[in-house]
A and B are shown apart, each in its own frame.
Chain A
Amino acid sequence: MAVRPILLYPDAILKTPSAPAVPGDPTVASIIQDMLDTLQASLGVALAAPQIGHAVQIIVVDVSRKQGETGHGRIVLLNPRITHQDEERIVREGCLSVPDFTGNVLRYGKTIVEGLIPSGTQTTIEASGLEALAFQHELDHLAGILFLDRVRSMETDVFRRAHVRRGA
């Protein structure tokens, strides 16, 4: 299909919650192909549909694009939701839609995601490491949440982290 431009904040769609996707809908199929083409042409490992201008609940994740990572290979998920996450950690995160800024974000090293593959079949994926982080980041996009909404500290936050652990 086509490589689409990755939209940058302050494009309003990046702050808009996405609607559920309908498996088998030709429009959905077309968006998926554009997302795969755009991901292939980018330096990233994952994309959410709003990043190319569609407020529908579709994500593509392929951490094998990064050297040393395998994960589950290329995954396309419709209407994904996280059912479990574990192993809290602070990650310095950036986003293709918010260039030139990184921030410390609380994420989880393990996550279980449920959703539909494009044919409509329900699937469950247990992800860890970079793949788990990618799922959390892309699901946020579907809710209109950017990592900027989750930034814990602009800089080193080890002192604050100590407080968090005590409170946990």
Chain B
Amino acid sequence: MTHFAIVTAFGQDQPGIVAGLAEGLFKLNCNIEDTSSVQLRGEFTMMLLVRLPNGMAADQLAGHLPSHLSSLDLTIMCRDVPAQAALRKSNTTTPTHMLSVYGADKPGIVAKVARTVADHKGNITVMNTQVVGASDKPVYVMVLEMKLPDNSSPDALSQALDKLKPSLGVDLTFRKLESVNL
């Protein structure tokens, strides 16, 4: 039976991390399917949905990776993914709306914004945040893409988000994503 795992790996950024991990997985007959990887400041972080070879359990994977990977000093974790969750889907998760939030950095921005989105049945599909600006006046930038259910009201979410602006001291823009299928 086909089974999948999610591998997460991260470590101090340097050339060769992707190559080293991909070669290690290839040698173990693991098939890398969907992945997302990004630099978070000086750390390179990877998330990989991997199809495991027959007979290999997810918890065995990290221990089987070639020893040359140790020079990269990566933290590697692996967990089984239920077959249903690993199925390829059509565009049902294509985001419908985008939200950018920015303001002076303070705790709670992500929590309050994400809670508001969730309370309106918005499903966050991608989230990126970054602290930018001068070191004595850091600015928080948060960008979300989300899918709203077909029967939901974007206006209600938009109004709820606007109410957050004074308490969080942020500016925000909520807009429909221009999406075309040609």
Verify if B18 is at the interface (C-beta below 8 Å from A): no
Q: Do B128 and A158 touch across chains, with their CB atoms under 8 A apart?
A: yes
Instruction: Give the residues from 64 to 109 in chain A that come closer than 8 angstroms, CB to CB, to chain B.
Output: 89, 91-96, 99-100, 102
B117-139 vs A: 1/0 string, CB under 8 Å? Answer: 00000000010101000000000
CB distance from A132 to the nearest CB of B (A): 11
Q: Would you call the interface of chain B mostly helix, strand, loop, or mixed?
A: strand
Q: Which residues of A contact B143 (CB under 8 A)?
A: 156, 158-159
Q: Do B94 and A92 touch across chains, with their CB atoms under 8 A apart?
A: yes
Query: Assuming the A-B contacts A92-B94, A100-B89, A102-B91, are A155 and B181 also in contact, with contact meaning beta carbons closer than 8 angstroms in the complex?
Result: no
Q: Do A89 and B178 touch across chains, with their CB atoms under 8 A apart?
A: yes
Q: Do B100 and A95 touch across chains, with their CB atoms under 8 A apart?
A: no
Q: Which residues of A contact B94 (CB under 8 A)?
A: 92, 94, 102
Q: Do A96 and B182 touch across chains, with their CB atoms under 8 A apart?
A: yes
Q: Do A92 and B180 touch across chains, with their CB atoms under 8 A apart?
A: yes
Instruction: Give the residues from 79 to 134 in chain B that come closer than 8 angstroms, CB to CB, to chain A.
Output: 88-91, 94-95, 98, 100, 126, 128, 130
Q: Which residues of B contact A147 (CB under 8 A)?
A: 182
Q: Which residues of A contact B179 (CB under 8 A)?
A: 91-94, 102
Which residues of B are at the interface with A, using a C-beta cutoff of 8 A? 36, 88-91, 94-95, 98, 100, 126, 128, 130, 141, 143-145, 177-182
